[in-house]
Homo-oligomer: A and B are copies of this chain.
Amino acid sequence: MAGSFPTSPMRKVIVAVRLPRELHEELGRVARIVGPEDDVEDAEALLCLNVDPGLLRRARGLRFIQVVTAGVDHLPWEHIPPGVVVSSNAGSNAAPVAEFAVALLLAAAKRILHFDRNMKGGVARPDVEVPVLSGSEVAVLGLGEIGRRVASMLSAMGMRVVGFSRRPKEGVPLHRFTTDLGDALSGQRYAVVALSLNKYTRGLLTYDVLSSMAEEGVLVNVARAEIVDREGIKRLLLERPRFVYATDVWWSRDDYSRDSDVIGLPNVIATPWVAGGYGSREVYMAMLRSAVENLARYLRGEQPRNIVPREDYV
Contact = CB atoms under 8 A, between A and B. Distances in A.
Give the 5 A-B residue pairs with the shortest CB-CB distance, closest first.
A156-B156, A103-B106, A130-B279, A119-B270, A115-B271
Interface stretch (A8-16, A38-46, A256-264, A290-298): A256-264
A311 interface: no
Nearest to A134: B95
Interface in A228-276: 256-257, 260, 263-264, 269-275
B278 A95 contact: no
Given A125-B272, A132-B95, A113 B112 contact: yes
Interface in A68-114: 95-96, 99-100, 102-104, 106-107, 109-113
Interface of A: 95-96, 99-100, 102-104, 106-107, 109-113, 115-116, 118-120, 122, 124-126, 129-134, 152-153, 155-158, 256-257, 260, 263-264, 269-275, 278-283
Contact of A96 (B102, B132, B260, B273): B132
Question: Residue among A125, A152, A271, A275 with the most chain B CB within 10 A?
Answer: A271
A264 B119 CA distance: 8
Contacts of A115: 270-272, 274
Given A112-B269, A126-B279, A153-B157, 18 more contacts: A95-B134, A96-B130, A96-B134, A100-B110, A103-B110, A104-B112, A116-B269, A116-B271, A119-B263, A119-B271, A120-B263, A120-B270, A122-B257, A126-B272, A126-B278, A130-B274, A131-B282, A155-B156
A116 B113 contact: yes
B270 A116 contact: yes
A280 to B, nearest CB: 5
Contacts of A109: 103
A271 B120 CA distance: 9
Given A107-B112, A256-B124, A260-B122, A99 B132 contact: yes
Nearest to A158: B95
B120 A280 contact: no
Contacts of A111: 274
Contact of A280 (B119, B130, B152): B130
A149 to B, nearest CB: 9
24 contacts: A95-B132, A99-B106, A99-B110, A99-B132, A100-B110, A103-B106, A103-B107, A103-B109, A107-B107, A107-B113, A113-B113, A119-B263, A119-B270, A120-B264, A122-B256, A122-B260, A126-B273, A129-B282, A130-B275, A130-B283, A131-B282, A132-B280, A153-B157, A155-B156
